[in-house]
Structure formats: structure tokens, C-alpha cells
Amino acid sequence: MEITSKIKTIGFAFALGSFMFACSQETQNETNAEVNEAQAEMSEENMEARSSYDDFEAWVDTNTDRAETVTEDEYREMRTEYKRREAEVEAEASTWDEETRQAWEKTKTEWNEFENKVQQRLGDIDDIDVDVDVNRDNN
């Protein structure tokens, strides 16, 4: 019984010593520095993603204001550009915070409203406008 008690005491002393070492000031400073570095990297990535989104949002705001004056050709070009930019922004969406995601949904809603206004004014516009004379004689 006395031997078991001594083994437990020695084990407890080693455990306490390892915990004390893990909690030393130097170890805490190293851990804090690593955490700060990781947070800075994440903040930088979020800022880059947000910047990309902000550029796209500004483009959408500028172009949706033209719903009453845009021509069919301009609308086709804008829709093509929107789809290209949307794909790029969607690829980054997994890294966004909740605020950016909500803003993104609002931007998509604005674009849909713009498309509805243009299509109501100009009718349904196809992506490709081809005028083919199928009755032409091929001599």
C-alpha cells in the first residue's frame, strides 16, 4: 500500500510539473504569437475576399441604375459580365463571414430585379441574337 501511495505521489508530481511547464510565460507568449499570426492571416484573406466582393457590388450598383436606358446589346454584355464575375465571387464565398454572405444575397436580389425590369421593358432577350434567312436559295 505504501509503495502504491509513493508511485501515485511521484506520478502526481510529474503531472503537476508538466502542467507548470506548459503554463510557463514563455510558452504562453509563443502560443499567443502564433494565434495572433493566424488571426492576422485570416483577417488579410477576409479583407481580400471582401475587397473582391465590394468591387463586384459597386459594378452591380452602377449597372442596375441603368435599367430604364440599357439597350439589348448592352444588356447582353452586362449579363455575360455579371455571370463571369458571379462565378469568380461564388468561388470565394466559402471563406466569407456572415455579414458578407448577407450582402451577397442582397446584391444577387438587386441584379434579379434589374433583369426583371429590363426584360419587362425590352421583352425576353436571348444571349445570342442571330438573324438567319432560312428561305434563301443556295445556288
pLDDT per residue, tens digit, the chain (139 aa), is 678 877 878 887 777 677 666 666 676 677 667 767 766 666 666 666 667 778 888 888 888 888 888 888 888 999 999 999 899 888 888 877 888 889 889 999 999 999 999 888 887 776 554 444 545 555 5
> Does residue 127 fall inside a structural domain?
no
> Does residue 131 fall inside a structural domain?
no
> Sign of the CA dihedral 25, 26, 27, 30?
positive
Best CA proximity match to 56, nearest among 85, 92, 98, 94:
85
Instruction: Count Cα neighbours of 126 within 13 Å in the Cβ-side half-sphere.
Output: 4
Full residue range of the structural domain in which residue 32 is found:
2-122
> Does residue 48 fall inside a structural domain?
yes
Contacts for 113 with CB less than 8 Å, ≥ 6 apart: 64
> Does residue 137 fall inside a structural domain?
no
> Does residue 135 fall inside a structural domain?
no
Please count the structural domains in the chain: 1
Nearest-angstrom CA–CA distance, 40 and 28: 18
pTM, two decimals, is: 0.57
> Does residue 136 fall inside a structural domain?
no
Nearest-angstrom CA–CA distance, 41 and 110: 32
